[in-house]
């Protein structure tokens, strides 16, 4: 791989799903300085309280109830 990487501080990423792997990649991306948005099939209220607090504390934009094309392309 060259010096160019896809994961860089200042980039934006959308993570689909807040399951085990989704939570892990969100944390990783935040640690690398990537701006993260999350789309999940569940509504925000259906997520565990800890996940809702984590999203809010990290100012993560959240789309619940499905994965719209508009959100995914942002």
This prediction's pTM: 0.85
Contact 22, 45 (CB under 8 A): no
Q: How confident is the model at residue 9 (pLDDT cuts 50, 70, 90)?
A: very high
What gap in Å lies between CA 32 and CA 41, rounded to an integer?
26
**Per-residue pLDDT tens for 15-35?**
999 999 999 999 999 999 999
Q: How confident is the model at residue 57 (pLDDT cuts 50, 70, 90)?
A: very high
3-state secondary structure of 6: coil
Contact 69, 44 (CB under 8 A): no
3-state secondary structure of 73: coil
How many other C-beta atoms can be found within 10 angstroms of the C-beta atom of residue 64? 16
């Amino acid at each position: 791989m060259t010096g160019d990487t896809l994961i860089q501080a200042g980039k934006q990423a959308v993570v689909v799903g807040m399951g085990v792997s989704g939570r892990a990649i969100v944390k990783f991306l935040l640690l690398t300085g990537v701006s993260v948005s999350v789309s999940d099939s569940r509504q925000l209220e259906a997520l565990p309280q800890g996940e809702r607090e984590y999203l809010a504390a990290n100012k993560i934009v959240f789309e619940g109830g499905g994965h719209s094309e508009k959100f995914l392309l942002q």
